[in-house]
Amino acid sequence: MPEYKLKDKRDFKEIVLAHLEKILEISTHEFRGGYEEQKLHGNWVEKVYVPDQRKVYCQAVESWSFILYPHFNPSTKKKYDKLNEQIDELLKKYVDNKIEHDDFIIEKLNIMKKMFLQLNILLRELKISKIKTTKVIG
């Protein structure tokens, strides 16, 4: 899994592809809710929170969209805005107690999967493999 370090010098293409790799790694694991796990250490028990993989995936796709946003064409921006409107409507339902938390997360996950597909289409259109390397970090 790629790690981002400020001392690394990465260009835009490397950042985009590293983030894509991270999302793909996240998506190879079961999308399950978070939970606490107990680990026994001799005579004491440590409680460790195991993150909700659905939320982790949603956050990763969202941050990847922020990286790619300046390169959106009008069609991609329109689709992106529509998906964000769906998330906003979903959030309103959740805040108004019209849907349960788990249903909210599952529906948001499905929207973020659609967003991930749209971002991949954008990558193809940008011909990311042909973008010149320009150092942006470091």
pLDDT tens for each residue of 16-43: 999 999 999 999 989 988 889 999 888 9
Packing angle between helix 101-126 and helix 53-68, nearest 10 degrees? Answer: 30
Give residue-wise pLDDT tens across range 66-114.
999 999 999 999 999 999 999 999 999 999 999 999 999 999 999 999 9
State the virtual CA torsion across 77, 80, 86, 92 in degrees, nearest 10.
Answer: -80
Residue at 96: amino acid letter: D
Reported confidence tier of residue 131, pLDDT bands at 50, 70, 90: low
**Chain centre to alpha carbon of residue 127:** 21
- Which backbone phi and psi does 137 adopt, to 5 degrees? -130, 140
Residue at 134: amino acid letter: T
Residue at 118: amino acid letter: Q
pTM: 0.80
Using CA atoms, how far apart are residues 117 and 25, in angstroms rounded to an integer? 16
